[in-house]
Amino acid sequence: MSWLFVAGIVIFLIGLMLSIALHELGHLVPAKLFGVKVPHFMVGFGPTMWSCRKGETEYGIKWIPFGGYVRMIGMLPPRSNDDPGQLRKVSTGPWQSLNDTAREVSLEDVRPGDEDRVFYRKAWWQKVVIMSGGPAMNFVLAFGLFAIVLMGFGVQVSQPVIDKVNRCVIPANVQARECTAADPLSPAGAAGLRPGDRIVTFDGRKIDSGEGATRAIRAHGAGPAVVGIQRDGRAMDVNVNVIAQVVWSLDESDKFEVAGVLGFTPVKSIQQQSVGAVATHMWDLTARTAQSIVRLPEKMVGVWEAAFSGEERDKNGPIGIIGAGRIGGEIASAPMPLEARIVYLITLLAGFNLAVGVFNLIPLLPLDGGHVAGALWEGLKRGFARVTRRPTPGHVDIAKALPLTYVAAFLMIIMAGLLMYADLVNPVRLLT
């Protein structure tokens, strides 16, 4: 294990800790702004490495860098027949006992004079702002990191110019190899297209980018077409016979599709992108991340098979903190220019923040989205009561959802343990 590999892991862990701190800061700032008492602000779990107290809040770092928390008093309301600071001790069943314990823990830091500083008594919209502040900070951080990559370093963009005419067309779902007699010849070569030719139109459609040319050719499918090109300053039309072949999907990187191909490699160059391009990139990745979370149970089956059957890990599947840290080490020690390694590391951290932001918005406790959903439901109920001139309902008791919370937390622990094991015995290797 080289020192660069270790340095990559350390750099990722530092970025992870900063991301966690900013996530929790997204909760802390609005909580204090709206008058919620916050006894603890911690990055990490386990024993405390360092802490200091400023005012009523203790700020600290713990030894296990796999999360963090902001402790606000009164996250759960007392039962409707209890005083805010006093709960009855007799429970009617196991779930009620767990609920009562959670309420006691939530209210144990409430002191005389703190009655209006508990979280559950705040306006519904304030609770939404407080609990969505953490994921929002992750989104802001992801946007900033992607902006550094796309606007600062730039990205590789294909041009509508031919760099190389392939001798044959090899299906994307087979291992890279040399051309064989069974492979179809390149339609681009058969039609006389040359390196340096700029594609201006395809079958009457104007082309202004390499991606545009690829999409037009793929959408055409097999059959004859006319390619308008510029060669040595002269415009000319070339008749081609597009063939259908298995290719990687442009929209879903882990899927194949059958589409039209000509068999050439476009010229690629590094270009700085605009703010709008960063926003579009974020939107696309957010949508893909949400789709991946919906398919998480299916993906975890693949992780199980990779962990215990030795199957190859899906590079687009879920990974844990250990796996992400290992990828950071792999990137740092990869035989590539320093600039490329920096770009990969920044992109890794940006993707991690985006995934954390989306995952935390799932409307289930103990995730932030569970509290947001409860606050929105409270706002809806109170708005309906106001419109219908009914008495204002009480605060939504999200403690009633705690049984589901325990199940969700148990499943999350199982998934985290499985990912940790898979990351150790069969890790994802992005650069191999």
- The one-character DSSP state at 279 is H
Q: Provide mean pLDDT across the span 20-49.
A: 93
Q: What is the pLDDT of residue 236?
A: 93
Q: What is the pLDDT of residue 201?
A: 94
Q: CA 50, CA 60: separation in Å to the nearest integer?
A: 5
Of 100-114, 171-185, 287-301, which range is least confident? Answer: 100-114
Choice between 108 and 171, residue whose per-residue pLDDT is larger: 171
Of 59-73, 86-100, 339-353, 417-431, which range is least confident? Answer: 86-100
Residue 29, SS3 per DSSP: helix
Q: Provide mean pLDDT across the span 93-113.
A: 65
Per-residue exposure over 323-348, b if at least 16 CB sit within 10 Å of its own CB, e if not: bbbbbbbbbbbbeeeeeebbbbbbbb
Q: Provide mean pLDDT across the span 339-350.
A: 93
DSSP string, 131-198: HHHHHHHHHHHHHHHHHIIIIII-EEEEEEEEEEE-SB---TTS------TTSPBPHHHHHT--TTPE
Q: Provide mean pLDDT across the span 138-150.
A: 96
Chain centroid, CA 239 distance in Å: 44
Q: What is the pLDDT of residue 88?
A: 40
24 is catalytic: yes
Confidence category of residue 64, pLDDT binned at 50, 70, 90? confident
Q: Which of 24, 108, 252, 312 is catalytic?
A: 24
Q: CA 256, CA 212: separation in Å to the nearest integer?
A: 19
DSSP-assigned beta bridge partners for residue 247: 257
Q: At residue 400, does pLDDT exceed 80?
A: no
Q: At residue 432, does pLDDT exceed 70?
A: no
For 113-127, the pLDDT digits (tens) are 888 899 989 999 999
**Are residues 39 and 57 in contact, defined by beta-carbon separation less than 8 angstroms?**
yes
Q: At residue 389, does pLDDT exceed 60?
A: yes
Q: Provide mean pLDDT across the span 414-429.
A: 87
Q: Provide mean pLDDT across the span 365-381.
A: 90
Q: Provide mean pLDDT across the span 84-91.
A: 44
Q: At residue 85, does pLDDT exceed 50?
A: no
Domains and CATH numbers, the chain: 1-37+72-152+274-432 (no CATH), 155-271 (2.30.42.10)
Highest mean pLDDT among 256-260, 299-303, 345-349, 406-410: 345-349
Q: CA 367, CA 371: separation in Å to the nearest integer?
A: 7
**Are residues 135 and 360 in contact, defined by beta-carbon separation less than 8 angstroms?**
yes
Q: What is the pLDDT of residue 92?
A: 46
Which two tokens mark 377?
A: 């439901």
Q: What is the pLDDT of residue 346?
A: 95
Mean pLDDT of the chain: 87
Q: At residue 316, does pLDDT exceed 90?
A: no
For 231-280, the pLDDT digits (tens) are 998 999 999 999 999 888 887 766 888 999 999 999 998 889 999 999 99
Q: At residue 102, does pLDDT exceed 80?
A: no
Q: What is the pLDDT of residue 317?
A: 80
Q: At residue 83, does pLDDT exceed 70?
A: no
Q: What is the pLDDT of residue 224?
A: 94
Q: What is the pLDDT of residue 80?
A: 59
Q: At residue 309, does pLDDT exceed 80?
A: yes
What proportion of the chain, given as a percentage, has pLDDT over 90? 48
Q: At residue 1, does pLDDT exceed 70?
A: no
Provide the sign of the torsion angle of the four alpha carbons 203, 204, 205, 211, taken in this order: positive
Q: What is the pLDDT of residue 288?
A: 87
Confidence category of residue 182, pLDDT binned at 50, 70, 90? confident
Which two tokens mark 228?
A: 């308008």
Confidence category of residue 395, pLDDT binned at 50, 70, 90? confident
Q: How many CB atoms lie within 10 A of CB 26?
A: 26
DSSP string, 84-142: TT---S--SSHHHHHHHHHHHHHHTT--TT-GGGSGGGS-HHHHHHHHHHHHHHHHHHH
Nearest to residue 302, comparing CAs of 290, 283, 286, 316?
Answer: 316
Q: At residue 26, does pLDDT exceed 80?
A: yes
**Which single residue is written with the structure tokens 């959408």?**
219
Q: CA 229, CA 428: separation in Å to the nearest integer?
A: 42
Choice between 406 and 226, residue whose per-residue pLDDT is larger: 226
Which two tokens mark 430?
A: 């992005």
Q: What is the pLDDT of residue 89?
A: 44
Please state the pTM of the whole predicted model: 0.81
Q: At residue 146, does pLDDT exceed 60?
A: yes
